[in-house]
Chains A and B, each alone.
Chain A
Amino acid sequence: MEPAGQAPSGGAATMEVTSTPTGPGVDVSDVWRFFGSFPALGGMSFTAPYGQVTALVGPNGAGKTTLLLILASLLKPHRGRVLVAGCDPTVDPAGVRAVTGWMPDTFGVYDQLTVREYLRFFGQAYKLGRAMLAARVTELLDLVHLTEYVDQPVHVLSRGQKQRLALTRALVHRPRVLLLDEPASGLDPRSRVELRDILRDLAAQGTAVLVSSHILAELEEIADRVVLVAGGRTVGEYAMADLRAQARRAYRVRALDPDALNRTLRDQGIAHSTVDGAVELAELTEEQAAQTLAGLVAAGVGVVAFEPLGSDLESVYLAMTEERR
């Protein structure tokens, strides 16, 4: 572990937080951004608090990447205001950069460098001291399991490994705010689990993590909060737990006696259909599902399987984007 109180870091990877940050890590209020006359962002607003992983979820073209570019101090918003760690990137980009880590969705790495050289370069570009940099490089490569590649050229890394290397680049200066654009895309399941663990750890240490994706299920286990966006606007902001509670989804039911099952459902007035020989119930909340199951059991139906179909979050997401039309 590094000595605490290292320059601009807020102690992202150490438990000691040098200054208690006030306000949210990311504060976006009514942000507009046009490309030509097309509004890529049309009044997006949300916050991403410290110590939590916030998922920014929406279909392709919802404005997620544009927003992250604004937060990363690369693009100016045309209207509205964003604050990253309390700094306005249009006014004080240097202040934002010192405390923000950003990983774009598509990025290049310097193929000719070794993994160590790559990280050292960015460490120096973030003004880390030489002595602490060497330790930081070791620590980060250990974190993403790339230690054995330290002296390998970057081009021998696989796609997933490059993604992990890019994550270490974004983390090299211990940012208090971490912005990741589609980090889970193209990762194998194992890498995804590792990414989840890393992000959960960072959040636990007080970092504000903002992760974008167009697949809600991808972030189901990573995020504490979900910001749904579509067409450049915020559609809703939810705690992941609330979202699960109100999620409706279809259930598949199997019983010892399919006829009895069908009959009972008909008698109890529960909408259902038969798909490939199995009975499927129309979309239910978790509470409705529990009641239905209790009803079936009470009626003496020998239920052998009662399983939800698909991700619960996917259905919320589909419903949200449905409403928009």
Chain B
Amino acid sequence: MMNPAHVWLVVAQEFRIRLRTGRWRWLLGAWLVLLALFTLLLDFGLKTGDSYLPDHSLRGIPLFGFLMLFVLGSMLIISPALTAQTINGDRERGTLATLQVTRLRPAEIALGKLLAGWSVGLVALALSIPFAGYAMTQGGLTIGRVAAVYGVVALLIGTVCAVSQALSALLARSITSALLSYVVTMTLAVGTLVAFALALPLTEERVVAVNPDGHRYTVNLSHPERVWWLLAPNPFVIVADAAPRVPPRVSGTGIESYDPLSLIGNDVRQLRSPQGWFVYTSGSLPDSEDKPVWPYGLGFSVLLGAGSVLVTIRRLRTPTDRLPRGVRVA
């Protein structure tokens, strides 16, 4: 159905056009400076806070954690812009229809454009690798942890690009699709937190608790294990939880409480276990089973991305029957 050579033809074409329009060198240069500045200040902060760090030789772990949260946050801001105008922008410029009447298939056009946008995002991501490398020299980091985090961030960039592209295929005006792409990204990053915070009180139950001294009383108990999945699609949660746990040898030092990735990961995993408050008061702490959240989040993300690609392909299929309001075919 799909010819890789044709996908590549579209990728190369998109790349050439992108390279010649934007001020890429300046933008990427600015991004590099920003990364350097962030790493420098972060490193300084962790060094002066030395006395707080339980083990100075593990400084790489929190350094990498904060750095990657910063990188992910930045990528979530950059990525929608990479593809949010690829389809309707071409339509506005009058270059889409001439492409559609060639022998390129809709899937080849959709994938080619997506891969071009995605790879620009990956280039931006790759620029942070030297700084992650620096973190590795600061101790405690394994290559597996670094690779896993980068892999997940790369996938998430792809998802955001795919969703933004689908919106640009669905909506007539490029300004609308660009705006909506940011709304979707913010929904994933912030909206999920808000939704969880709002849903949690709804799970509250009045239960009877017993004090160790036998005194019985009622208390409101919430059930995060019923709504934890609201947090699963959150990109920060996915990345943090997908990062491999620090080995026991290291976690014994307590360095985890300085590493945002470990903190977020542990927190969301705990949400999946029934809350032990009243059990705790009755004397026994439930075994906190290690139930990871990231497979759900990543699965959701991959499905969202794949679905978006399918939507884009559908919208590129011609001859069309219906036209979105205000769209000229050519």
Contacts from A to B (Cβ < 8 Å): 35, 65, 69-70, 72-76, 89-90, 93-94, 97-98, 100, 102, 104-110, 112-113, 117, 121-122, 124-127, 166, 169
Q: Is the CB of A74 within 8 A of B94?
A: no
Q: Is the CB of A169 within 8 A of B98?
A: yes
Within 8 Å by CB of B9, from A74, A105, A125, lies A125
Q: State how many angstroms separate the Cβ of A183 from the closest Cβ of chain B.
A: 14
Question: What mask results when residues 92 to 117 of chain B are scored 1 for a CB within 8 Å of chain A, else 0?
Answer: 01110111111110000000000000
Within 8 Å by CB of B97, from A74, A110, A127, lies A74
Q: Is the CB of A122 within 8 A of B102?
A: yes
Q: Is the CB of B95 within 8 A of A106?
A: no
Within 8 Å by CB of B95, from A89, A97, A108, lies A108
Say whether, besides A100-B101, A117-B16, A121-B9, A108 and B318 are in contact (CB < 8 Å): no
Say whether, besides A108-B94, A112-B20, A74 and B103 are in contact (CB < 8 Å): no
Within 8 Å by CB of B103, from A70, A97, A105, A109, lies A97
Within 8 Å by CB of A75, from B17, B95, B98, B320, lies B320
Say whether, besides A97-B103, A108-B93, A74 and B330 are in contact (CB < 8 Å): yes
Give the complex CA separation of A97 and B318 in angstroms: 11
Q: Is the CB of B94 within 8 A of A124?
A: no
- Chain B residues lying within 8 Å of A93, measured Cβ to Cβ, are 318-319
Q: State how many angstroms separate the Cβ of B189 from the closest Cβ of chain A.
A: 33
Give the complex CA separation of A145 and B330 in angstroms: 26
- Chain B residues lying within 8 Å of A74, measured Cβ to Cβ, are 97, 100-101, 318-320, 329-330
Q: Is the CB of B9 within 8 A of A107?
A: no
Whether a CB of chain A sits under 8 angstroms from the CB of B13 is: yes
- Chain A residues lying within 8 Å of B318, measured Cβ to Cβ, are 73-75, 93
Say whether, besides A74-B330, A108-B95, A121-B13, A102 and B320 are in contact (CB < 8 Å): no
Question: Which 7 pairs between the two chains have the least Cβ-Cβ distance?
Answer: A108-B94, A125-B102, A112-B20, A108-B93, A104-B330, A108-B95, A76-B319
Give the complex CA separation of A275 and B49 in angstroms: 99
Q: State how many angstroms separate the Cβ of A82 from the closest Cβ of chain B.
A: 10
Question: What mask results when residues 35 to 57 of chain B are scored 1 for a CB within 8 Å of chain A, else 0?
Answer: 00000000000000000000000
Q: Is the CB of A125 within 8 A of B21?
A: no
Q: State how many angstroms separate the Cβ of A87 from the closest Cβ of chain B.
A: 12
Q: Is the CB of A73 within 8 A of B319?
A: yes
Say whether, besides A69-B329, A76-B321, A124-B9, A97 and B101 are in contact (CB < 8 Å): yes
Chain B, interface size category, equals 20 to 34
Give the complex CA separation of A74 and B327 in angstroms: 13
- Chain A residues lying within 8 Å of B330, measured Cβ to Cβ, are 65, 69, 74, 104-107
Give the complex CA separation of A315 and B13 in angstroms: 48
A35-B323, A90-B319, A112-B17 known; 7 other A-B pairs, CB under 8 Å?
A65-B330, A75-B318, A75-B320, A93-B319, A106-B94, A107-B97, A107-B98
Q: State how many angstroms separate the Cβ of B98 from the closest Cβ of chain A.
A: 6
Give the complex CA separation of A296 and B277 in angstroms: 117
Q: Is the CB of B101 within 8 A of A102?
A: yes
Give the complex CA separation of A104 and B6 in angstroms: 24
Give the complex CA separation of A35 and B17 in angstroms: 34
Q: Is the CB of B100 within 8 A of A110?
A: no
Who on chain B is nearest to A90 by CB? B319
12 A-B Cβ contacts within 8 A? A72-B101, A74-B100, A74-B101, A74-B318, A74-B319, A75-B329, A107-B98, A107-B330, A108-B94, A113-B16, A117-B16, A125-B102
Give the complex CA separation of A102 and B90 in angstroms: 17
Give the complex CA separation of A117 and B318 in angstroms: 26
Give the complex CA separation of A305 and B126 in angstroms: 81
- Chain B residues lying within 8 Å of A100, measured Cβ to Cβ, are 101
Give the complex CA separation of A127 and B21 in angstroms: 27
Give the complex CA separation of A98 and B104 in angstroms: 10
Q: State how many angstroms separate the Cβ of A84 from the closest Cβ of chain B.
A: 11
- Chain A residues lying within 8 Å of B97, measured Cβ to Cβ, are 72, 74, 104, 107
Q: State how many angstroms separate the Cβ of B127 from the closest Cβ of chain A.
A: 24
Give the complex CA separation of A105 and B328 in angstroms: 12
- Chain A residues lying within 8 Å of B101, measured Cβ to Cβ, are 72-74, 97, 100, 102
Q: State how many angstroms separate the Cβ of A97 from the closest Cβ of chain B.
A: 6
Question: What mask results when residues 129 to 158 of chain B are scored 1 for a CB within 8 Å of chain A, else 0?
Answer: 000000000000000000000000000000
- Chain A residues lying within 8 Å of B20, measured Cβ to Cβ, are 112-113
Q: State how many angstroms separate the Cβ of A9 from the closest Cβ of chain B.
A: 13
Who on chain A is nearest to B104 by CB? A125
Q: State how many angstroms separate the Cβ of A119 from the closest Cβ of chain B.
A: 12
Say whether, besides A93-B318, A102-B101, A110 and B17 are in contact (CB < 8 Å): yes
Give the complex CA separation of A73 and B317 in angstroms: 10
Who on chain B is nearest to A94 by CB? B103
Within 8 Å by CB of A125, from B90, B103, B319, B321, lies B103
- Chain A residues lying within 8 Å of B323, measured Cβ to Cβ, are 35, 75
- Chain B residues lying within 8 Å of A69, measured Cβ to Cβ, are 329-330
Q: Is the CB of A104 within 8 A of B98?
A: yes
Q: Is the CB of B93 within 8 A of A70?
A: no
